[in-house]
Structure 1
């Protein structure tokens, strides 16, 4: 009798345990959409500047999960944007200057290529030329990041559904005399080289390309205005118009440009603009409930520091005034500092911790259960 009761209890416990595991697995949220925002060159000090210089609460403060990534490339301790973005887009470490290829220059599949084969819409937005290192790493495969005309040619046959940025000259002012804008249109793109339009202007289109500058877009303080948050909002409207899932990458490119120039005003204005774009994406994700938003950077640029202001006493001695910030730089290149990762939405908790930059790719696939392909 006692033995029978023990067997019964063991069986009951086993069944209950299996049921609990099934419930836990069934209850795990799966992201249907992903927005990856990359603030090129943005380290913790750049992000911190928004908390001192933005007139409203930064959108960075809205994220419940924060992690850190190591950014070294396959051959260098300090990465460049090409190797850094390839790590995000393909989950592999590669050498600096490589776009969509591994360390041995073999082509590697990108997120855009992988998910497009599964019927998922894709979009790329940048304040640089669309052929620049970060956006290029999501759709092109070249040995060197400066092969801009070759990179532009990859866009023609890509599966990108929506893109916006600069880089028009690499389509229509080429050394080979070709006009790839014509080829874009032949492959289903509506091409606009004037300005972002309203959603009503593009809602019946299957693919849309905005090429709004010959090379990079103007800085936000010199005429670009609110292009980035508006493009993010328009991209979300377009990619969701048919009710399917999507992946969208949004890059705030010129935070990096400002870091290279050691120009604090330029940097802070670009960072605040990028934060506004983050807000548009978070607003969408909060309403949608099925969208994973990730914000990170490929590397830090400039060795940016929110230092104190140095002042002089009447006797000529100096002191640090801790009541006023003086943004400073230690380099005109990149640095090897760990980079923050912010995440919101289904699967966001997996982005906490410290890990390699290649894990961004793998964590996206895990959170969405999108097949990694062959």
Structure 2
């Protein structure tokens, strides 16, 4: 689970705005990762997510490629090759930097229509996020990528037709739910799917795991970052609290299941966010040093089998290596 732009202050502001409690407090193991990219001490989401997905330091803007622009094999692709069900859920579009870095390979994050094409080459069992226009109303060509995915055994729902709470996907098919035409709304403006999607996703993938090998799932709380870019403390807090509820939904599955490792981290901090003098519980006064990312080390929370591997201080690329080793992927 990746809270994009979620540094220590974003977590603290969410906690102090929620009567001093978060689901994150249930995690027994906490570490710190070094977030820099290959070409900048301040990473972006594309390089940060590629470090998690593929275990390489790469340049800012890179999607599933190394510093030499050559494709890198991702943890999701390794899991697919080993027969594990896989899933991506995000409160951004599916072609946005973080989810894209697990399934696509492109020289730059802005090539969203090219990134959408890579989804056809993959076999991700579950996809929930925005970006319908990059698949079906494209500017570069008239490809209907959704139709191509439907021919690959995907059941597809679109946001205008069905609410996430109504969804009961057929586990015999891959499932794709487009939550928005472009980028989804902020939580405060009505987006409400991240928590129910986070409850649905592990249950769906577990049901698809007919060989009892386990599954790989990435869930992103994308818009904590957008609140930081906007220097909007209330935006950050509302997104942080929604993401924490999503964490609670996944933890509930893991606690019942007893065999699921949950890792929560961020790609970077955004905004140089600080809590000012005069703040009180449930009344945070925030301040910012930037409208971009910062180079802070980033917390990593782990719960479940193998959690102890995520304590300490290490490179962001080590998260890939440790996930790969725990899943016994080659």
Give the shorter-chain TM-score range. Answer: over 0.9
Q: Structure 1 residue 216: deviation in Å?
A: 1.1
Change (3 A) 1:198 1:325: closer
Residue 354 (str. 1) matches residue 313 (str. 2) = yes
**Counterpart in 1 of 2:81?**
117
Q: Structure 1 residue 325: deviation in Å?
A: 3.9
Gapped runs of 5+ residues in structure 1? Answer: 1-36, 310-320
- Encode CA deviations 1:198-242: one digit per residue, 9 max, x unaligned: 46x3134420000010111111110112x1110011111210114
Work out whether residues 157 and 187 of structure 1, in 8 Å CA contact, stay in contact via their aligned partners in 2: no
**Counterpart in 1 of 2:127?**
163
| DSSP-derived class of the 1:77 partner | coil
What is the CA–CA distance in structure 2 between the aligned matches of 1:208 and 1:45, rounded to whole Å? 36
Residue 278 (str. 1) matches residue 264 (str. 2) = no
What is the CA–CA distance in structure 2 between the aligned matches of 1:258 and 1:302, rounded to whole Å? 8
Larger radius of gyration: 1
Residue 371 (str. 1) matches residue 308 (str. 2) = no
Work out whether residues 46 and 98 of structure 2, in 8 Å CA contact, stay in contact via their aligned partners in 1: yes
- Encode CA deviations 1:260-304: one digit per residue, 9 max, x unaligned: 000111110000000000001111111111110000000000001
| DSSP-derived class of the 1:240 partner | helix
- Encode CA deviations 1:25-81: one digit per residue, 9 max, x unaligned: xxxxxxxxxxxx000000000001122101472101000000000000011110000
Change (3 A) 1:104 1:59: same
| DSSP-derived class of the 1:256 partner | helix
Residue 193 (str. 1) matches residue 158 (str. 2) = yes
**Counterpart in 1 of 2:148?**
183
Q: Structure 1 residue 90: deviation in Å?
A: 0.3
What is the CA–CA distance in structure 1 between the aligned matches of 2:264 and 2:65, rounded to whole Å? 24
Change (3 A) 1:189 1:306: same
Query: What is the aligned counterpart of 2:177 among 210, 216, 228?
Result: 210
**Counterpart in 2 of 1:220?**
187
**Counterpart in 2 of 1:61?**
25
Q: Structure 1 residue 127: deviation in Å?
A: 0.4
Work out whether residues 13 and 284 of structure 2, in 8 Å CA contact, stay in contact via their aligned partners in 1: no
Query: What is the aligned counterpart of 1:145 among 93, 109, 116?
Result: 109
What is the CA–CA distance in structure 1 between the aligned matches of 2:261 and 2:70, rounded to whole Å? 30
**Counterpart in 2 of 1:288?**
257
- Encode CA deviations 1:331-352: one digit per residue, 9 max, x unaligned: 0000000000000011101100
Query: What is the aligned counterpart of 1:83 among 47, 56, 59?
Result: 47
What is the CA–CA distance in structure 1 between the aligned matches of 2:304 and 2:132, rounded to whole Å? 35
Work out whether residues 92 and 184 of structure 2, in 8 Å CA contact, stay in contact via their aligned partners in 1: yes
Q: Structure 1 residue 360: deviation in Å?
A: 0.3
**Counterpart in 2 of 1:4?**
none
Residue 343 (str. 1) matches residue 302 (str. 2) = yes
What is the CA–CA distance in structure 1 between the aligned matches of 2:302 and 2:265, rounded to whole Å? 9
What is the CA–CA distance in structure 1 between the aligned matches of 2:208 and 2:138, rounded to whole Å? 35
TM-score, normalised on structure 1? 0.84
Work out whether residues 272 and 293 of structure 2, in 8 Å CA contact, stay in contact via their aligned partners in 1: yes
Residue 43 (str. 1) matches residue 7 (str. 2) = yes
